[in-house]
Amino acid sequence: MLLNSEVNIDEIINKAVKEAIREYDKEKMVERKDKRFHNTRLLLKHYNDLKNHIKNAIDDINQIRDESDYLDILDDVDELYILSIKRSKTKTLIMLSHIDMALEMLKNKQEKLCSLEKYLALEKYYKDEKSYEDVAEELNCSVITAKRWVKEMTNELSIFLFGIEGIKFDMIQ
């Protein structure tokens, strides 16, 4: 009889451990999803700043207008710093191209679904830097609806930006 109860205890322990691991994995997936959403929001929030960085970063001698500026810059900057500026500009350009592609895909999807206003809410809020109140007024909806649309579009954009990693979480719920 004692052997039987030991087997039951082992089974219970095994089941409890498996359930704990499953729960831990779910929590990690939620954290990754939250991080992707957070990163997507950060990219959108700084979208215009990143565009300006590409436009205004001086990474080439031909971009300097005044010769005295050129001499001052040469005194202060070494080649490694200039290379760093070029790399930063290139990485930013690649990321913005990816964001623009994802935004275009999201826009096309919303057009096909006849719900372009959801995409427009996202665009007005992040690209045009309008308040939720202004977005709501322009799209003739409530502020709560504008916020909901922006959040929904940000979630969808995460999938376009991060691919399968943006979808995995949805599969376990």
Q: Quote the CA–CA distance of 28 and 167 in Å, as a whole number.
A: 14
Residue 132 and residue 125 in contact, taking contact as beta carbons nearer than 8 Å: yes
Q: Quote the CA–CA distance of 14 and 85 in Å, as a whole number.
A: 55
Q: What is the pLDDT of residue 173?
A: 43
Distances (CA, A) of 74 to 47, 114, 144: 31, 55, 53
Q: What is the pLDDT of residue 12?
A: 82
Q: What is the pLDDT of residue 70?
A: 52
Distances (CA, A) of 171 to 1, 162, 164, 165: 43, 15, 11, 11
Residue segments in the chain with a per-residue pLDDT below the cut of 70: 1-7, 30-33, 57-78, 164-173
pTM, whole model, 2 decimals?
0.65
Residue 122 and residue 150 in contact, taking contact as beta carbons nearer than 8 Å: yes
Residue ranges covered by each domain of the chain:
2-172
Token look-up 């003739």 returns: 140
Residue 155 and residue 167 in contact, taking contact as beta carbons nearer than 8 Å: no
Q: What is the pLDDT of residue 150?
A: 97
Q: What is the pLDDT of residue 73?
A: 54
